[in-house]
Amino acid sequence: MSALKISKRQLQDCVKDARIRLPQHNSEYKHFSYVFQARRLLGWGRNKEAAPFPGFGYTRTLHAENEAWRRSRHALTPQPWLILNIRLGTSGALRMSMPCDCCQAFLEAMGCRLVYYSTDHGFREMKI
Ligand SMILES: [Zn+2]
């Protein structure tokens, strides 16, 4: 089986994790990212009011993908990895979290090859 996959259980655990962290998320958009490689969760991040990641067209704020990568980079190997994006409404419902153009360029440059992202109705995947 491909290493570029996560189990349904892992996905559900991340949704649970994001919902637990939701009350502490004080940005308008509540976006969480989880980095996986070889079926292991390496780190997570969320968007926040902080200096934008240098390059890739970012102009303001740190995106969840940036922080998740920063927290996982020490453990990442040169092999492809994947990211799971989850955005929640204030009540905890799933919302669209497809990576923005800047993050798509960022993720590709960092070796990410697959994105799972939430929508209002579940999850979709996107190859990078
Ligand atoms: Zn982004």
Chain segment 94-125, per-residue pLDDT in tens = 999 999 999 999 999 999 999 999 999 999 99
CA of 66 to the centre of ligand 1 (A): 8
CA of 46 to the centre of ligand 1 (A): 11
**From CA 127, how far away is CA 30, in angstroms rounded?**
23
* Residue that is written with structure tokens 């509540």 in the block: 30
**From CA 97, how far away is CA 104, in angstroms rounded?**
12
Query: pTM here?
Result: 0.96
CA of 89 to the centre of ligand 1 (A): 17
* Residue that is written with structure tokens 């994006």 in the block: 85
CA of 45 to the centre of ligand 1 (A): 12
CA of 20 to the centre of ligand 1 (A): 22
**From CA 15, how far away is CA 34, in angstroms rounded?**
10
> Residues, the chain, total?
128
The string of pLDDT tens digits covering residues 37-86 is 999 999 999 999 999 999 999 999 999 999 999 999 999 999 999 999 99
